[in-house]
Amino acid sequence: MLKLFKTILKTGEATVKYPFKPLEVCPGFRGKPVYDAEQCIACGACTVACPANALTMETDTTTGERVWQIFYGRCIFCARCEEVCPTRAIVLSEEFELAVTQKADLYTTATFALHSCPQCNQPFTTKKALALTMDLLAQSSGDPDTVEALREVYECCPGCRQKYNLSTNGSLRMRQIAVGEKS
Ligand code: SF4
Ligand code: SF4
């Protein structure tokens, strides 16, 4: 018996006081993904990468909106969303206590306005994604005139860009098409 007490004293505490004391998690712990709709541009990269289908995105061309959604009930905390997000809009936190009293509380959604191609009128991206593209272009070129000249190219959908061959003289050609001139 004395030997047993000695062993216990030598070993020390082998258990933790959780839930009576907060539990410290190890560095790099992958807990609840925290989403920041302000940072999100609704590019959809995370929804493609998510292996558990916890992330979804639906585009409604009639309302001109795209709805992004996470359902925490399906999340497996793999961090693929964090890896692929270009704006750090979704980051895994250290939070692991995810119990809720209503299933609805396991959902987070955000709605984004779509941008339509001025040529064919088809929505193909979000206004926020286009704004970010133009901002990055402005930062990399440093020339506001160049950015403005390219704006009409970037505002068009990939199909129209390809159709009207905007790579070189496309800007001029696009203007001609827009006013009904024949090339
Ligand atoms: S952590 Fe993994 S499973 Fe959870 S939302 Fe992100 S990609 Fe999906
Ligand atoms: S990858 Fe990032 S920016 Fe793109 S939809 Fe997901 S959270 Fe939003």
Q: What is the pLDDT of residue 165?
A: 62
Q: How much is the pTM?
A: 0.83
- Whether the predicted pLDDT of 174 surpasses 60: no
Give the residue whose CA is nearest to atom 8 of ligand 1.
Answer: 50
Give the residue whose CA is nearest to atom 4 of ligand 1.
Answer: 75
- Whether the predicted pLDDT of 6 surpasses 60: yes
Q: Which two tokens stand for residue 152?
A: 């009409």
Least confident of 37-51, 85-99, 116-130, 149-163: 149-163
Q: ω into residue 19 within 30 of 0, thus cis? A: yes
- Residue ranges per domain, the chain? 27-116, 117-168
Q: What is the CATH number of domain 27-116?
A: 3.30.70.3270
Other CB atoms within 10 Å distance of the CB of residue 90 = 23
Q: Which atom of ligand 1 is nearest to the CA of 77?
A: 1
Q: Which pLDDT tens digit goes with each residue over 126-153? A: 999 999 999 998 888 878 888 888 888 8
Q: Which atom of ligand 2 is nearest to the CA of 39?
A: 3
- Whether the predicted pLDDT of 116 surpasses 60: yes
Q: What is the mean pLDDT of the chain?
A: 89
Q: Which atom of ligand 1 is nearest to the CA of 79?
A: 1
Q: Which two tokens stand for residue 50?
A: 């998510």
DSSP character string of the chain: -HHHHHHHHHH---S--TTSSPPPPPTT---PEEE-TTT-----HHHHH-TTS-EEEEEETTTTEEEEEEEGGG-----HHHHH-SS--EEE-S------SSGGGGEEEEEEEEEE-TTT--EEEEHHHHHHHHHHHHHHH--HHHHHHHHHHHTS-HHHHHHTTTTSSHHHHHHHHHTT---
- Whether the predicted pLDDT of 179 surpasses 50: no
Q: What is the pLDDT of residue 173?
A: 53
Asked whether 33 lines ligand 1 (CB < 6 A), one says: yes
Determine the residue of 56, 71, 80, 96 to mutate for testing ligand 1's pocket, defined as the one with the most ligand atoms within 8 A of the Cβ atom: 80
